[in-house]
């Protein structure tokens, strides 16, 4: 049921129309310009910030914090998730704790983190790790728990040791779930990094956007938002590309209506 | 199965007791991790003095307003986009452009427009809930089984009646999913927006307590947030079970 | 005048690659009011497409469909189609009563007798007591009965049934066959029936049309003269029953052989 990808003229026209309306409303109405600086001005600011390098520093700071937090969270959550998913007894102990901590919005941890780690990279990475762990952990546990016992028995029949079972059977079999968790964790990580930067940062895109707002430089503020949006989009794209390569077997299977 | 629940409770209690002992013994800096008993004491005091309930109401007002507004706007939009290709085309690019923006990043914009008012938070929540609600509604409408549509046609149902009597009920479960997913998002964003720009509300309360080194109060605030998250989930599930009792049953059957 | 006339019906599809598949080649037939008529044929010969076209849910590529003297250009008012996947066509959010009431209301009957009528039909299909149940709580056979009750609640003059009993176990199938015949006799509806079970077709019908492979055409008509009411044991035991069955099997074998 795949239809040929037709170009969405209407949609792009609507989008362009929106931008043009914005542009002309702003130009014609100086009072509006603080809230809705003309698109052209925003684009100009964007160029200036990028070329002039002012936003470069903030950009890389955010990206590094993001990767540090996300990678760490992924590592911990996947390993922990596999252990908890596999050893049911262990999971039963921790299950209640997880149930109680889950409903708490992870951003509530920021004040504690500030208390413990002050403001700075450490705190920001720490809260990112905390928040991203949940989605990845829970999905990983799900994935491991749902593995067909037959698969593991088959592996054992072939004489595979515990470690090999883990690497060759459990990880691949649970990977669709894990990937879902990783995808959710990606968005969460970006959200937390920018949030922490807004609340208690002195560098980074989150801080930059807020700072520009405080200085009433709305044009720079919007430019910063564009940068973050592009970053978010790029990260998602990269993730999808990696995922489609790594999970080709799964895509084929589900396309045929398999498990 | 009973033992596993017991395990969980025992472990949790053990942790809490450990916390208490370690804090009382002074092995951790009480200024950073106060004893559990102290936290609960402060919690109780603040609840009975009305301080905490006040903050809860402030936060929940904004949360509810933003959430409901998002539902009111984006469910109909999602339905329209799901039913009519033209409408979907029209909005598709704009949606795709706005989607990658992490919701908190919108807060400075909201500050610019609304200052520290309630409307700032309402706007942020409205924006954040938009995509889960919109996309789930859209998906729900699109994935209504064609056989249901054929059934409506063979019984001679008019277009309007088909939408109302068949398409909407059939896509209700998916719409609910969008609403359910938006619940934690709402809570998170209300907290964030209050931390960044507010003078009241639970988010502000927790951050403010940290700033003034009222550590026990800070933890108490976190406890409130955890409880709020839990209660909202329970309430939502209750509504879901009553509204969509037919679906709850059929999903259980799908093993 | 026949209640249904199909004249030169043909239906083709354009495939993704650009080539055209002709599902229905050329079908011409007429059904008299009150008849029970079946279509049989090798699988894939377009039986469902045929029924959907007659029901006005698919636009024919060529040919005419005339119901009660007027040409059909969309779902005809006095006709209802029962789908093969009945579980997907039942409304999961309505109870059994709700589903059957849907048929009543769709006809425009919003009076209180409509409710009584729905209940009566539910009893007729043997589901008395299950009015408040949801479809997912019922077995396949019971769901099919709900679908039938809902269709009959609409009081159609023409009832089209697409392999309604195919997914059911043998005993349930026999039960439902008899139930259908009883309802048909009482309500005097005209029924067009599709099945791949030849003996079922013979048991139920007045006439059987055998379709060829794609592009399908009517290859032969069989008149079934057994007396009514039919009996699962006696009717099927008649020597003529087997003769007709073998005849049809042979022909389908020939039509299918390639």
Give yes or no for residue A98 having a pLDDT over 70: yes
Distance of CA B84 to the CA centre of its chain: 29
- B166 to chain C, any CB pair closer than 8 A? The answer is yes
- C73 to chain B, any CB pair closer than 8 A? The answer is no
CB C118 within 8 A of CB C130: no
Q: What is the pLDDT of residue B251?
A: 62
Burial track B147-156 (b if 16+ CB lie within 10 A, e otherwise): bbbbbbbbbb
- B145 to chain C, any CB pair closer than 8 A? The answer is yes
Distance of CA A96 to the CA centre of its chain: 26
Burial class (CB in 10 A: 0-12, 13-18, 19+), C165: buried
- C52 to chain B, any CB pair closer than 8 A? The answer is yes
CB contact under 8 A, A93 and B100: no
Give yes or no for residue B4 having a pLDDT over 80: no
User: Mutual orientation of helices A121-145 and A109-117 as an angle, nearest 10°?
Assistant: 130
- Which residue does chain A place closest to B98, by CA atoms? A229
Q: What is the pLDDT of residue A254?
A: 67
* Pairing label, strands C216-223, C207-211: antiparallel
User: Tens of pLDDT along C57-86?
Assistant: 988 888 999 998 888 888 998 999 999 888
Q: What is the pLDDT of residue A1?
A: 42
CA pair distance C126, B160, nearest whole angstrom: 33
If you average pLDDT over residues C12-26, what whole number do you get?
A: 82
Give yes or no for residue B189 having a pLDDT over 80: yes
Give yes or no for residue B100 having a pLDDT over 80: yes
Q: What is the pLDDT of residue C164?
A: 92
Give yes or no for residue B2 having a pLDDT over 80: no
pLDDT bin (cut points 50, 70, 90) of residue A4 is low
If you average pLDDT over residues A76-92, what whole number do you get?
A: 90
Give yes or no for residue C108 having a pLDDT over 80: yes
User: Mutual orientation of helices B36-48 and B51-83 as an angle, nearest 10°?
Assistant: 80
Interface with C, mutate which of B154, B172, B245 (most C CBs under 10 A): B154
CA pair distance A140, C30, nearest whole angstrom: 62
- Which residue does chain C place closest to B250, by CA atoms? C136
Nearest CB to C75; choose among B147, B156, B253 = B156
ipTM given for this complex: 0.87
- Show residues of chain B in contact with C75, CB under 8 Å: 153-154, 156
If you average pLDDT over residues C199-228, what whole number do you get?
A: 90
Task: Select from B178, B181, B231 the least CA-distant residue to B202.
Answer: B231
Of residues C111 and C15, the one with the higher pLDDT is C111
Give yes or no for residue A215 having a pLDDT over 80: yes
Give yes or no for residue A196 having a pLDDT over 90: yes
| Residue that is written with structure tokens 């978010």 in the block | A232
CB contact under 8 A, B246 and C94: yes
pLDDT bin (cut points 50, 70, 90) of residue A3 is low
C107 is written with which tokens?
A: 């006809």
Burial track C95-116 (b if 16+ CB lie within 10 A, e otherwise): bbbbbbbbbbbbbebeeeebee
C79 is written with which tokens?
A: 């006709």
B19 is written with which tokens?
A: 């916390």
CA pair distance B201, C94, nearest whole angstrom: 43
Q: What is the pLDDT of residue A259?
A: 43
Cβ–Cβ pairs < 8 A, chains B and C: 60
CB B106 within 8 A of CB B113: no
CB B176 within 8 A of CB B238: no
Q: Which helix (H) or strand (E) holds B66?
A: helix B51-83
pLDDT bin (cut points 50, 70, 90) of residue A247 is confident
Give yes or no for residue C251 having a pLDDT over 60: yes
If you average pLDDT over residues C219-223, what whole number do you get?
A: 90
- B113 to chain C, any CB pair closer than 8 A? The answer is no
DSSP state of B143: T
Nearest CB to C91; choose among B150, B156, B169 = B169
CA pair distance A122, A120, nearest whole angstrom: 6
| Residues facing residue C161 across a β-bridge | C82, C193
If you average pLDDT over residues C164-183, what whole number do you get?
A: 91
Q: What is the pLDDT of residue C135?
A: 93
CB A127 within 8 A of CB A106: yes
Average pLDDT, chain B: 91
Give yes or no for residue C242 having a pLDDT over 50: yes
CA pair distance C78, C106, nearest whole angstrom: 11
Give yes or no for residue A31 having a pLDDT over 70: yes
Of residues A55 and C253, the one with the higher pLDDT is A55
Of residues C211 and A6, the one with the higher pLDDT is C211
Of residues C258 and A47, the one with the higher pLDDT is A47
Q: What is the pLDDT of residue B255?
A: 37
pLDDT bin (cut points 50, 70, 90) of residue B254 is very low
Nearest CB to B105; choose among A14, A34, A228 = A228
CB contact under 8 A, A232 and B5: no
| Residues facing residue C190 across a β-bridge | C158
Cβ–Cβ pairs < 8 A, chains A and B: 163
User: Tens of pLDDT along A162-195?
Assistant: 777 777 888 888 888 999 999 999 999 999 999 9
Q: What is the pLDDT of residue A59?
A: 94
Within 8 A by CB and 6+ apart from A74, the residues are A132, A136, A182, A185
CB contact under 8 A, B148 and C89: yes
HEC states along chain C? CCCEEEEEEEEEEECCCCCEEEEEEEEEEEECCCCEEEEECCCCCCHHHHHHHHCCCCCCCEEEEEECCEECCCCCCCEEEECCCHHHHCCCCCCHHHHHHHHHHHCCCCCHHHHHHHHHHHHHCCCCCCCCCCHHHCCHHHHHHHHHHHHHHCCCCEEEEECCCCCCCHHHHHHHHHHHHHHHHHHCCEEEEECCCHHHHHHHCCEEEEECCCCEEEEEEEECCCCCCCCCCHHHHCHHHHHHHHHHHHHHHHHHCC
pLDDT bin (cut points 50, 70, 90) of residue B157 is very high
pLDDT bin (cut points 50, 70, 90) of residue A231 is very high
CA pair distance B21, B36, nearest whole angstrom: 9
User: Tens of pLDDT along A99-153?
Assistant: 888 889 999 999 999 988 988 899 999 999 999 999 999 999 989 988 888 887 8
Burial track A174-187 (b if 16+ CB lie within 10 A, e otherwise): bbbbbbbbbbbbbb
Q: Which helix (H) or strand (E) holds A178?
A: helix A171-200
If you average pLDDT over residues A8-28, what whole number do you get?
A: 92
Rg over alpha carbons for chain C, rounded to the nearest Å, is 18
The Cβ-side half-sphere exposure at B191, using a 13 Å CA radius, reads: 26
CA pair distance B100, A187, nearest whole angstrom: 9
CB contact under 8 A, C134 and B246: yes
Average pLDDT, chain C: 90
Poorest-confidence range of A93-107, B54-68, B128-142? Answer: A93-107
HEC states along C165-228? CCCCCHHHHHHHHHHHHHHHHHHCCEEEEECCCHHHHHHHCCEEEEECCCCEEEEEEEECCCCC
Backbone phi and psi for residue C221, each to the nearest 5 degrees, phi listed first: -110, 140
Give yes or no for residue B172 having a pLDDT over 50: yes
Interface with B, mutate which of C89, C99, C162 (most B CBs under 10 A): C89
């Amino acid at each position: 049921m795949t239809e040929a990808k037709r170009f969405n003229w209407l949609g792009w026209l609507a989008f362009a129309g929106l931008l043009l309306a914005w542009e002309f409303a702003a130009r014609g109405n100086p009072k509006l310009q603080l809230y809705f600086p003309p698109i052209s001005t925003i684009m100009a600011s964007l160029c200036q910030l990028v070329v002039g390098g002012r936003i470069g520093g903030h950009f890389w700071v955010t990206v590094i914090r993001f990767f540090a937090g996300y990678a760490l969270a992924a590592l911990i959550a996947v390993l922990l998730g596999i252990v908890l998913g596999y050893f049911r007894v262990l999971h039963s102990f921790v299950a209640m704790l997880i149930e109680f901590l889950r409903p708490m919005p992870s951003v509530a941890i920021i004040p504690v983190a500030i208390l413990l780690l002050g403001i700075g990279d450490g705190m920001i990475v720490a809260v990112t790790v905390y928040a991203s762990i949940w989605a990845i952990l829970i999905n990983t546990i799900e994935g491991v728990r749902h593995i067909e016992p037959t698969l593991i028995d088959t592996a054992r029949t072939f004489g595979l040791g515990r470690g090999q079972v883990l690497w060759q059977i459990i990880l691949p079999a649970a990977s669709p779930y894990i990937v879902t968790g990783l995808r959710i964790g990606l968005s969460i990580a970006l959200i937390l990094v920018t949030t922490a930067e807004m609340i208690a940062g002195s560098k980074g895109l989150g801080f930059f956007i807020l700072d520009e707002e405080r200085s009433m430089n709305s044009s720079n503020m919007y430019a910063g938002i564009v940068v973050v949006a592009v970053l978010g989009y790029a990260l998602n794209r990269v993730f999808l590309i990696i995922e489609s390569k790594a999970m080709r077997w799964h895509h084929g299977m589900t396309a045929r209506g398999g498990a | 199965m009973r033992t596993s629940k017991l395990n969980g409770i025992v472990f949790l209690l053990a942790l809490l007791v450990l916390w208490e002992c370690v804090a009382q013994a002074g092995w951790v800096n009480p200024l950073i991790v106060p004893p559990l008993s102290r936290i609960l004491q402060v919690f109780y005091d603040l609840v009975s003095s009305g301080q905490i309930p006040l903050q809860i109401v402030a936060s929940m007002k904004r949360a509810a307003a933003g959430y409901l507004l998002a539902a009111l706007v984006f469910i109909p939009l999602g339905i329209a986009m799901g039913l009519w290709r033209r409408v979907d085309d029209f909005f598709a690019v704009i949606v795709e452009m706005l989607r990658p923006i992490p919701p908190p990043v919108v807060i400075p914009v909201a500050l610019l427009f609304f200052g520290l008012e309630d409307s700032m938070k309402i706007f942020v929540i409205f924006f954040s809930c938009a995509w889960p609600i919109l996309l789930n509604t859209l998906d729900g409408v699109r994935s209504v089984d064609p056989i249901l549509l054929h059934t409506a046609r063979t019984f001679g149902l008019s277009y309007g009646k088909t939408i109302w009597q068949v398409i909407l009920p059939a896509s209700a479960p998916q719409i609910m999913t969008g609403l359910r997913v938006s619940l934690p998002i709402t809570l998170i964003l209300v907290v964030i927006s209050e931390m960044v720009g507010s003078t009241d509300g639970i988010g502000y309360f927790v951050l403010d307590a940290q700033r003034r080194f009222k550590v026990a109060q800070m933890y108490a605030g976190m406890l409130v947030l955890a409880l709020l998250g839990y209660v909202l989930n329970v309430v939502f599930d209750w509504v879901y079970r009553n509204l969509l009792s037919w679906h709850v049953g059929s999903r259980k059957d799908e093993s | 005048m026949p209640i249904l006339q199909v004249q030169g019906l043909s239906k083709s599809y354009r495939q993704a690659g650009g080539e055209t598949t002709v599902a229905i080649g050329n079908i011409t037939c007429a059904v008299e009011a009150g008849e029970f008529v079946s279509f049989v044929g090798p699988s894939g010969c377009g039986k469902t497409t045929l029924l959907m076209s007659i029901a006005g849910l698919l636009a024919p590529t060529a040919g005419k469909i005339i119901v009660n003297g007027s040409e059909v250009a969309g779902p005809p008012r006095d006709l209802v189609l029962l789908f093969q996947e009945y579980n997907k066509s039942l409304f999961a959010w309505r109870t059994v009563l709700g589903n059957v009431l849907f048929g009543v209301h769709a006809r425009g009957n919003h009076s209180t007798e409509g409710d009584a009528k729905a209940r009566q039909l539910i009893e007729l299909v043997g589901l008395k007591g299950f009015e408040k149940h949801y479809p997912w709580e019922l077995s396949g056979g019971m769901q099919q009965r709900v679908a039938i009750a809902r269709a009959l609640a609409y009081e159609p003059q023409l009832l089209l049934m697409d392999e309604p009993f195919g997914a059911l176990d043998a005993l349930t199938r026999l039960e439902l066959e008899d139930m259908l015949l009883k309802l048909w006799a009482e309500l005097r509806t005209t029924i067009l029936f599709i099945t791949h079970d030849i003996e079922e077709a013979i048991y139920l019908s007045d006439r059987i049309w055998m379709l060829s492979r794609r592009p399908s055409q009517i290859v032969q008509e069989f008149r079934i003269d057994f007396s009514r009411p039919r009996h699962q044991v006696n009717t099927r035991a008649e020597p003529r029953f087997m003769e007709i069955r073998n005849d049809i099997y042979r022909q389908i074998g020939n039509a299918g052989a390639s």
